[in-house]
Amino acid sequence: MSEPEARALISSPPPKRSALQAFSSLRQRNFRLFWFGQMISLVGTSMQGIGQAWLVLLLTHSALQLGLVGALQSLGVLLFSLIGGVFADRWPKRRVLLITQALAMAQAFALWALVASGTIQLWHLYVLALLLGLTHSLDAPTRQAFVVEMVGRDDLLNAVALNSSLSSLARIVGPGIGGVIIAASSVSALFLLNALSFLAVIAGLALIRSDELHAQARQTIAEAQNVWRSLRAGLAYVWATPAVSIVIVVVGLALLFGSNFTVLLPLFATNILNIGAQGFGFLSAAFSVGSLSAALWLAWSNQQATVRRVLVGALVFAVVEALFAVSHSVPLSLALIAGVGFAETSFAELAFTMLQLAPPDHLRGRVMSVCILFFDGSVPLGYLLTGWLAQRYGPSPALLICALLCLLIACGGWLWRSHALKGGAEPAPL
């Protein structure tokens, strides 16, 4: 290469990123099938969420029973997600997902049949919520670990971000559609539509070509023969890998203390901002729009997932949430709660991506199960803590306390990262 050509190459601006690059992982047929199936299914799941809450209130008129049904659904994740990660590493993930999605569809059909026949009782909801939680304890780590098999390592952040955008979109669209269906028809019609929506993701999984999946290592024969040995191997890897343990502990605690503010939004709307039920809807929508924007931005930018970026996101999340806690301006509060949604999705999805890239292939399911245990299993505890603080001190001080705890946790994560770097431990991006 001549000197003028080299100089021109160095001085040329970087290529512009096309908006279509936000959907780059959809070029891969297997992930495209899975993603579009999930799009339909997640909207149905979001619809069932409000339908189930409405049904509990119709049967009991009790907020306590509403919380109990939600807690039973989370119990399976809390107790069995680690075991689910062992089997996610042991069995072909596509086959596991076909089974778990079929079981979730059967649960939805059972709920529809009980409601449509007029035989539904509260204990039925208890049992079905518990069974759905057990199914999720196997489905969640398998689904997270399966993404990298569909898209490979280069497109992983884009794929994770696109999956997150689906969740955010479903939270925006699903409740609205569900409310219209309940008003226009009945809650049983909503449950039937949710059951049918699982056909889309099951069809997508059935059409995936196994020979086009990225090859993944399997467990050794010794590991496969002993569930507890497999579980200990996964936990030992998490404990011995600073980049992984820092992200799981910091993000898990930040979500425990900081991401349960949704239970306080009605109080902020009515007691702090004085904007009533309609304002509560605007606050919820603003948060979802922020989350969706973050997911699309991550998909477009395709940043490298590192501990440093995760910790920066956690710090920004804590600061913006603290500002929202003390705000009394409606326009500012709407902007801040959108910022909270953006920051939370950003650091959480970067964490998910890093935790899928860091471990060796044969341990990925178990690492994701620990991640899900810390990230999702803490939800009931977070709700209880936030509710207790709000009852004792009021919504604004309660949220400010939670935000300051998140700030301390993120700062502790920086110190932990610095110590790990000084010790020379860098098996994953720090």
Domains and CATH numbers, the chain: 27-210 (1.20.1250.20), 224-424 (1.20.1250.20)
What local confidence, expressed as pLDDT, does residue 246 receive?
92
What local confidence, expressed as pLDDT, does residue 194 receive?
92
User: What's the CA gap between 248 and 374, in Å, rounded?
Assistant: 7
What local confidence, expressed as pLDDT, does residue 4 receive?
47
Look at residues 241, 256, 279, 254 and name the one whose alpha carbon lies nearest to residue 360. 241
pTM score, whole prediction? 0.74
User: What's the CA gap between 215 and 210, in Å, rounded?
Assistant: 10
Contact 113, 189 (CB under 8 A): no
What local confidence, expressed as pLDDT, does residue 165 receive?
80
Q: List helix spans (H) across 209-329.
A: 221-224, 227-240, 242-258, 265-267, 276-301, 307-326
Q: List helix spans (H) across 208-226.
A: 221-224
User: pLDDT 10s digit of each residue in the chain, 430 long?
Assistant: 444 444 444 444 444 555 666 688 898 999 999 999 999 998 888 888 778 877 887 888 765 676 677 778 877 877 888 888 888 888 889 999 999 999 999 999 999 999 999 999 999 999 998 999 899 889 988 998 898 889 988 888 888 888 878 877 787 777 777 777 877 877 888 899 999 999 999 999 999 998 888 865 455 444 555 777 888 888 888 888 888 999 999 999 998 898 877 778 878 888 899 888 677 778 877 888 898 898 888 888 877 788 999 999 999 999 999 999 999 999 999 999 999 999 999 998 899 888 888 888 788 888 888 888 888 777 767 777 887 888 888 889 999 999 999 999 999 999 998 888 776 555 556 6
What local confidence, expressed as pLDDT, does residue 10 receive?
41
Contact 170, 294 (CB under 8 A): no
Look at residues 389, 375, 322 and name the one whose alpha carbon lies nearest to residue 347. 375
Q: Is 168 exposed, middle or buried (0-12, 13-18, 19+ CB in 10 A)?
A: buried
Q: CB within 8 A of 298, min separation 6: which ones? A: 157, 158, 160, 161, 164, 345, 346, 349, 350
What local confidence, expressed as pLDDT, does residue 385 receive?
83
Cβ density class 229-248: b for 16+ within 10 Å, e for less: ebbebbbebbeebbbbbbbb
Which structure tokens are listed for 398? Answer: 């309660």
